Chain A
């Protein structure tokens, strides 16, 4: 190989290294994550969307120490944090419920707290509910978001732990901004999911929620 040919080959190799971009996947397989609520003033429906702003992170989550819920919710936080590529969501457990953005309790909610209620994970062993206090007129989401995880069976029921684990992930999915349910059982955000972890479709939906402007603003008391 002549000297000129070698130089040309080296230049071509460096050029090949220096050029070209990574190619991102097309993310089109997702479901509606926004909440439809009666418009104020009516008539019709408002589509409400929410995600935690960067300045709100990490979201503070208080969990009642019952039925292993702190461990389940800590894992749910890890699972959702790991679903994002660019630090869109982060949360941690706190010991003082007065400072929490999300409060997780066992059992069922009292009706007087109800504003927007998302019933979920209606398995025989356990169930979950997320209550959102939304003022549609002012477009405010009043914190804290209240999550209830209800163990419906005895602690030695072999199905209770998996049910609590997936229900924790599902309800935290609501608390991070997926305010609607998927229409497919293979998504963790289906009302009664057949899976234990977020699917690619759940992740794509969560990404869409965090990269689309929100029209609800979190307001602390």
Chain B
């Protein structure tokens, strides 16, 4: 299931030798919040939502013109998810998400850079049950964010990042049950890490 993330990362690493001086790498850890996954009505409203989840992100980029870079960023978040109705929560287990975005970044001011990206998000529930009875979906995702970097050595930067992404969520099980359209899921993350590469 992680092949779609690992293969581009390996290609990037393999091609990084000759371009080493130009490639920018980073790794970050932080927390991610996601909005409601499913909104249903069974007498009263039922909502399914992920908890705030720890996340890690790995990325790399290469310059494409002065000040601008193209790159890839993989993010994995893992946390609980639950159904809520009338104030009562039912724990539904663990839900991991993995996203892979190809993107561009450019300067805002000094140490601050913007970023936009497009890619896919993979839902990896711990058990195929409930809304994931027929498995987790893969969905198209669009994202944006900002990175702030501060040098902490000759080659290393402290990196603080904020990310927002959005995708349309549904599952095969929900579609089989007669759910139509899809739920817009907004995700926001804050993370801190280290970056090494070009300045």
Interface range for A: 20 to 34
Closest B residue to A54 using CB positions: B90
Interface secondary structure of A, over-half rule = loop
Interface range for B: 35 or more
Chain B residues positioned under 8 Å from A212 (CB to CB): 43
Is B20's beta carbon under 8 Å from chain A?
no
User: Could you tell me if B181 and A207 are in contact, using CB atoms closer than 8 angstroms?
Assistant: no
Most B CB atoms within 10 A — which of A21, A24, A81, A212?
A24
Chain B residues positioned under 8 Å from A24 (CB to CB): 39-41, 178-179
Is A85's beta carbon under 8 Å from chain B?
yes
Determine the distance from Cα of A57 to Cα of B196 in the docked complex, in whole angstroms.
50
Is A27's beta carbon under 8 Å from chain B?
yes
**A86 in complex: contacting residue of B130, B167, B169, B179, CB < 8 Å:** B130
Is A42's beta carbon under 8 Å from chain B?
no
Most A CB atoms within 10 A — which of B42, B83, B130, B167?
B42
Stretch of B9-17, B52-60, B65-73, B182-190 lying at the A interface? B182-190
| Contact A211-B44, Cβ < 8 Å, known A17-B168, A87-B92 | yes
Is A44's beta carbon under 8 Å from chain B?
no
Closest A residue to B46 using CB positions: A86
**A21 in complex: contacting residue of B43, B91, B181, CB < 8 Å:** B181
Chain B residues positioned under 8 Å from A21 (CB to CB): 39, 181, 183-184
Chain A residues positioned under 8 Å from B42 (CB to CB): 27, 207-208, 210-211
CB distance from B199 to the nearest CB of A (A): 29
Chain B residues positioned under 8 Å from A27 (CB to CB): 42
Chain B residues positioned under 8 Å from A85 (CB to CB): 38, 40, 83, 130-131, 173-174, 177
Chain B residues positioned under 8 Å from A18 (CB to CB): 166, 184, 186
CB distance from A18 to the nearest CB of B (A): 5
User: Could you tell me if A20 and B184 are in contact, using CB atoms closer than 8 angstroms?
Assistant: yes
| Residues of B bordering A, CB below 8 Å | 38-44, 46, 48, 83, 85, 88, 90-92, 129-131, 133, 142, 166-170, 173-174, 177-184, 186
The 7 closest A-B pairs by CB, nearest first: A25-B178, A86-B83, A211-B42, A22-B183, A24-B40, A87-B90, A23-B180
Contacts A/B (CB < 8 Å), 7 sampled: A18-B186, A25-B177, A25-B179, A86-B46, A87-B92, A210-B42, A211-B43
